[in-house]
Structure 1
């Protein structure tokens, strides 16, 4: 099988995980990476074991050896680079969010539809075997009619007021922090697992750390900044805590709590779905367990075991029971689905059901936008703007 050539733009924190995932596939050749300058790209290429560096993304796109572009740049560059890649006829794998606004996301959806190439957004939690197991069980009616969908995504990496990152700059990360960065993951997961859509939201947003002491030298996400480094005060306008009530199109109610300043919570994503017959719950930090709740019998805990999973979930489990699979494995599963789709031409009808496309990225932008509008209106219910949804969907709704 001929190897597909991939290039990566934006060699920051997440870039190493994209490269690790494609290396694990074995049928993808890493052609090169582009950064903010040729010198920075060369430095990261050496660090990441990549042979070629490009002075800018335009040079990378001009290379005929690059067939697939991974866009791992800060949010404000997503539209520009993904749009250029689509116009160049390249398949695109973009980090979430798809773009910095609903309007930019819609532009990318339209461009991807017209380009006729594979277009993927990295809502990587879909790649867990037990997430797909939960989805299959709900689709087959094992829970009965869902009545409540609830959960959280809690982190503590912004607890210290001396922590500052480009994600908190609205010009670079967008107007939303907690919801746009991690709440988006939960919303995609909730809709994907239940097969239902969020139709109305009521949101309360809060900034617990309104002023941060930013190091003068670095604003990289997850950068280690010494306490003695020169600092400047920065007023923060985006939320670091959010609580949201939800309504779904199947009649279910829901709630979501998101926070990035909560000590002790490292990457605490949880989703629970309660139906009339049973409940299920999954935690990202315990990805090999799926809790099943019952009314008139003992609760059970399904451990990830390929022999016990639904056929649709089994292919996402690669190790026998008792051999844990986690975040990097789920990310690899999503990238594997992406390249399987690319090898089939990226046509809508051949997209794997679990793979999130630009359609899903645009849909997610609509949900987050409704939450921001709800808070701005003083905490009142807002509709997710279905009239702004594209009429033409790309294959099965994922």
Structure 2
């Protein structure tokens, strides 16, 4: 397989995570990184032993040596750079959300249709072995028809009034925070397992800290201000938490809760999927266990073991049973899947979320916001999807 040269837009948590995962994949060479500040790009590049650093993302995008670009910038820059990347004819892997609104994301769908490049969005939870196993079991109706699903995604990194990051600024993050940031993962993963789209929602969102305090120096995501730091008040108008009733195609019902203020919960993404004959339960913080509940016989726990999984699921389990795999491995699996499509230049290959999938999730987010405003059920728009 030929070597594929990659550029990274951004120098934050996502960029570092992408680099770590990419370096576990054969024949991938990271050759450039960009930041708004050249000094920051140079320091980041030196730390990760990347040869090129840019203060101008457009210069990186147009570098003829770079074939694939990972967009790990802040949310308000996603649309601008994703559009530039597609127009430049470069393969694209972007962090979510795809754009700030569905008008922008629909434009990207049309660009992706016209381009001859591989483009995907970083919904990485699809790529855990036991998530893939659940998808296979639902597809084959191993446990009968799927009827309902419930769960949530809860964290605590915003639980203190002094917790602040750019994600709380609508100009940088968009209209939604908890739903767009983590609720989007819940929706994409469950849709992927069921093979069914969400068609309508009914939401109730809320904000615990309507005023937060940030340091004048600026807090970063997942960090807290020091006690002696000078603080300034910031009004907050995005949601800290929310619960959403959902209806999928085929009349499957569901509900999920998201929270970024649940003290003690770090990254608790979980769901129960109820079928005619069993309940399948999975928790991202215990990713190597799939609980299978039954009515008339003992419940069981399927532990991740390549020899016990379906062919597709076993490909995502790189170590023998008892050797734990988790979040970084799911990201690696996503990139393995994406770069297989890139190496074949096959726009139809892969199980990764497409630009059209990212647009659909953007439409779900907007429907949830509308439902919360109108206190009513809202159908998901289908424009740009078919």
TM-score scaled by structure 2? 0.98
What secondary structure, in the 3-state scheme, does the structure 2 residue paired with 1:242 have? strand
Q: 1:95-114: per-residue Cα shift (whole Å, max 9, x none)?
A: 01111111111111111111
Equivalent residue, structure 1, for 2:240: 240
Equivalent residue, structure 1, for 2:320: 320
Verify the 8 A CA contact 1:119 1:346 in the aligned structure 2. no
Alignment of 1:139-154 (within 5 A): 139-154=139-154
Verify the 8 A CA contact 1:71 1:82 in the aligned structure 2. yes
Equivalent residue, structure 1, for 2:360: 363
Q: 1:208-252: per-residue Cα shift (whole Å, max 9, x none)?
A: 111000111124322443121111100000001100111111111
Equivalent residue, structure 2, for 1:283: 283
Verify the 8 A CA contact 1:142 1:278 in the aligned structure 2. no
Q: Distance in 2 between matches of 1:32 and 1:307?
A: 39
* 1:63 to partner: Cα distance: 1.1
Q: Distance in 2 between matches of 1:281 and 1:368?
A: 25
Equivalent residue, structure 1, for 2:335: 335
Q: 1:338-395: per-residue Cα shift (whole Å, max 9, x none)?
A: 11111111422xx21x211111101111111111110011x21000112x1422xxxx
Verify the 8 A CA contact 2:109 2:384 in the aligned structure 1. no
* 1:26 to partner: Cα distance: 2.1
Q: Distance in 2 between matches of 1:62 and 1:359?
A: 24
Equivalent residue, structure 2, for 1:41: 41
Q: Distance in 1 between matches of 2:35 and 2:96?
A: 18
* 1:45 to partner: Cα distance: 1.1
Equivalent residue, structure 2, for 1:132: 132
Question: Aligned residues, how many?
Answer: 386
What secondary structure, in the 3-state scheme, does the structure 2 residue paired with 1:16 have? helix
Verify the 8 A CA contact 2:153 2:186 in the aligned structure 1. yes
Equivalent residue, structure 1, for 2:385: 390
Q: Distance in 2 between matches of 1:212 and 1:181?
A: 19
What secondary structure, in the 3-state scheme, does the structure 1 residue paired with 2:324 have? coil
Q: Distance in 1 between matches of 2:358 and 2:100?
A: 11
Q: 1:161-180: per-residue Cα shift (whole Å, max 9, x none)?
A: 10111111000000101000
Equivalent residue, structure 1, for 2:14: 14
Verify the 8 A CA contact 1:38 1:53 in the aligned structure 2. yes
Verify the 8 A CA contact 1:203 1:372 in the aligned structure 2. yes
* 1:90 to partner: Cα distance: 0.3
Verify the 8 A CA contact 2:186 2:269 in the aligned structure 1. yes
What secondary structure, in the 3-state scheme, does the structure 2 residue paired with 1:130 have? helix
Residues 1:231 and 2:231 are matched in the alignment: yes
Q: Distance in 2 between matches of 1:227 and 1:369?
A: 37
What secondary structure, in the 3-state scheme, does the structure 2 residue paired with 1:325 have? coil
Verify the 8 A CA contact 2:214 2:225 in the aligned structure 1. no
Q: Distance in 2 between matches of 1:96 and 1:16?
A: 16
Equivalent residue, structure 2, for 1:111: 111
Unaligned runs of 5+ residues in structure 1 are: 392-398
What secondary structure, in the 3-state scheme, does the structure 1 residue paired with 2:23 have? helix
Q: Distance in 1 between matches of 2:174 and 2:202?
A: 20
Verify the 8 A CA contact 1:200 1:247 in the aligned structure 2. yes
Q: Distance in 2 between matches of 1:77 and 1:144?
A: 44
* More off after superposition, 219-228 vs 141-150: 219-228
Equivalent residue, structure 1, for 2:345: 345
Equivalent residue, structure 2, for 1:89: 89
Q: Distance in 2 between matches of 1:355 and 1:226?
A: 40
What secondary structure, in the 3-state scheme, does the structure 2 residue paired with 1:250 have? helix
Q: Distance in 2 between matches of 1:39 and 1:226?
A: 25
Equivalent residue, structure 1, for 2:200: 200
Verify the 8 A CA contact 1:21 1:331 in the aligned structure 2. yes
Equivalent residue, structure 2, for 1:180: 180
